[in-house]
Amino acid sequence: MKPAAFEYHAPRTLEEALGLLHEHQDEAKVLAGGQSLVPAMNFRLARPSVLVDIAHLPDLDRIEATEPGSVTVGARVRHLDLEHNTIGGPLGSLFALTGRWVGHYPIRVRGTFGGSLAHADPAAEWCALACALDAEIHCRSASGSRSVGAGDFFEQMAFTTCLEPDELLVGVRLPELSDSCGVGMAEFARRWGDFAIVLAVTAVERDGDSIAGARIALGGVAGGPVRASNAEAALAGRPATAGTVAAAAAAAAEEVDPTGDIHGSADYRRDLVRAMVTRALDQALK
Amino acid sequence: MNQRRVELTLTVNGQRHEVAVEPRKTLADTLREDCGLTGTHLGCEHGVCGACTVLVDDEPVRSCLMFAVQCGGQAIRTVEGLADGERLHPIQQAFWEHHGLQCGFCTPGFLMLATSVLESRPDIGDEELREVLASNLCRCTGYQNIITSVHAARDQMRS
């Protein structure tokens, strides 16, 4: 239970960090909160020969309204900071609702938003949130920068993203949600703080008594986070009633194709999708 | 492979410790082996059990998931720093009085976790406190008395 030896770098500037990643390519790993990477290193499932610690890079720990209508979350913003954010509005509520499901309190003290996305655990709360809101993920390398939509960022294979070995995820842009938007998050895990077996993140735009549009993302049912687009379609333009919610939840259970594992069979997960989508939508429509 | 030791200064319970460690050495192992502070226990070594919880800048962290090289310049607190000489910290006294420990293996982690949350949120409610305490494992399954002890410490520290 001891990690293999590695060279440790704690760069003070972004340029220096990107230079190190460029130099060492896939020999290097980025260390942020270390709450997923270090366990993998302790088990020697990961054996990077170089660690680039981004703890001292300036400006990556901010939550900012960089332009009207959107919020940019720096890569190193911690789970705890999102849980107790001061953004306000439905987006702030969704961060708070979702944050408290991420691991345990001491994990949330260290673990980071960007780290969670780059790690891309199929059952990760933030990955589902990024997927639901069509987040734009900002990546930098020594040779340039690019922004990738969440839909393209997560590959449908566990722990796999489109990040190149020399790229650093620096921030994530999320759209502000309008005040007529309700948000919901539901998760099922065997014990408090465990990885989700299934989770659902929702944002529902209200138009009086009916639903203008909805976003639903699921975790734990595929290699990466997925949108329940049939369920979203089953909500758009419909009255905000229990019957509509039930129909959408049934559509979500129908459209996923989960695989069974030691934590639950495919059928069990499908049933959990129905239950979690129902709970998350009920919360969003409250 | 470069296994050169890195020299750094750790501040633990207000005392400076000059250590020379390989980068791969966790904070937990460094505290135990290089600082001689064996009160911090190591259970699972992959961030699940919480036995190794210490405070870094007053926040609870799992010291098996941090490398010592990450901790230069930060204030580390361990279970050894709780008591004031012979006088136990209120959280220790409460664990003593309410049988908050059986074998004692998980105790340092629970004490540090509880200390941190009671210091930062003295008015925390029962339900939330329960959620926080669910972070750590007790292999004796003595959770009820741990909860009772932390409630008692909260009331004591508030008064």
Report CB contact under 8 Å: A104, B134: yes
Angle, CA B152 vertex, CA A105 and CA B77 arms, to 5°: 45
pLDDT average, residue stretch A184-203: 94
pTM for the structure as a whole: 0.96
Are B102 and B154 members of one domain?
yes
pLDDT tens for A214-224 read 999 999 999 99
Report CB contact under 8 Å: B47, A35: yes
Q: Is residue B107 part of a domain?
A: yes
Confidence of residue A1 (pLDDT cuts 50, 70, 90): confident
Are B109 and B152 members of one domain?
yes
Q: For residue B16, what are the domain limits?
A: 6-81
- CATH of residue B96's domain is 1.10.150.120
Q: Which of B39, B61, B81 is the last residue of a domain?
A: B81
Long-range contacts of A44-47 (CB under 8 A, 24+ apart): A44/A3, A44/A4, A47/A3, A47/A4, A47/A6
The alpha-carbon gap from A216 to the nearest alpha carbon of chain B, in Å, equals 27
Are B68 and B129 members of one domain?
no
Which residue of B41, B70, B77, B111 is the best one to mutate when testing the A interface, meaning the one whose CB has the most A CBs within 10 A? B70
Q: Which residues of B touch A5 (CB under 8 A)?
A: 1-3, 22-24
Q: Which domains does chain A have, with CATH numbers?
A: 7-53 (3.30.43.10), 63-175 (3.30.465.10), 181-285 (3.30.390.50)
Which amino acid makes up residue A76? R
pLDDT tens for B91-149 read 999 999 999 999 999 999 999 999 999 999 999 999 999 999 999 999 999 999 999 99
Chain A residues 54-83 with a CB less than 8 Å from chain B: 55
Give the tokens for residue A33.
């909160």
- CATH of residue B76's domain is 3.10.20.30
Are B77 and B39 members of one domain?
yes
Confidence of residue B48 (pLDDT cuts 50, 70, 90): very high
Report CB contact under 8 Å: A106, B22: no
Please tell me the predicted confidence (pLDDT) of residue B4: 87
Distance separating alpha carbons of residues A13 and A18, to the nearest angstrom? 9
Q: Give strand pairing partners of A74.
A: A171
Provide the ipTM. Answer: 0.94
Please give the residue that has the higher pLDDT: either A156 or B19.
B19
Does B1 score more than 70 pLDDT?
no
Contacts of A170 (CB under 8 A, 6+ apart): A14, A60, A74, A75, A114, A138, A139, A140, A145
Report CB contact under 8 Å: A38, B135: no
pLDDT, mean over chain B:
96
For chain B, the helix, strand and coil percentages under 3-state DSSP, each to the nearest 5 = 40, 20, 45
Give the tokens for residue A128.
């589902």
Q: Is residue B1 part of a domain?
A: no
Confidence of residue B2 (pLDDT cuts 50, 70, 90): low
pLDDT average, residue stretch A71-90: 96
Q: Which of B58, B81, B104 is the last residue of a domain?
A: B81
Size of interface A-B (CB pairs under 8 A): 85
Confidence of residue A191 (pLDDT cuts 50, 70, 90): confident
Residue B132, chain A, CB below 8 Å: the answer is yes
Are B60 and B96 members of one domain?
no
% pLDDT > 90, chain B = 95
Q: Which of B37, B64, B81 is the last residue of a domain?
A: B81
Q: How many domains does chain B have?
A: 2
Q: Give strand pairing partners of A198.
A: A188
Are B95 and B77 members of one domain?
no
Are B51 and B108 members of one domain?
no
pLDDT, mean over chain A:
96
pLDDT average, residue stretch A66-93: 95
Q: Is residue B110 part of a domain?
A: yes
Please tell me the predicted confidence (pLDDT) of residue A231: 98
Report CB contact under 8 Å: B65, A110: yes
- Choose among A5, A34, A49: nearest Cβ to B66: A34
Are B74 and B114 members of one domain?
no
pLDDT tens for A39-58 read 999 999 999 999 999 999 99
Are B115 and B60 members of one domain?
no
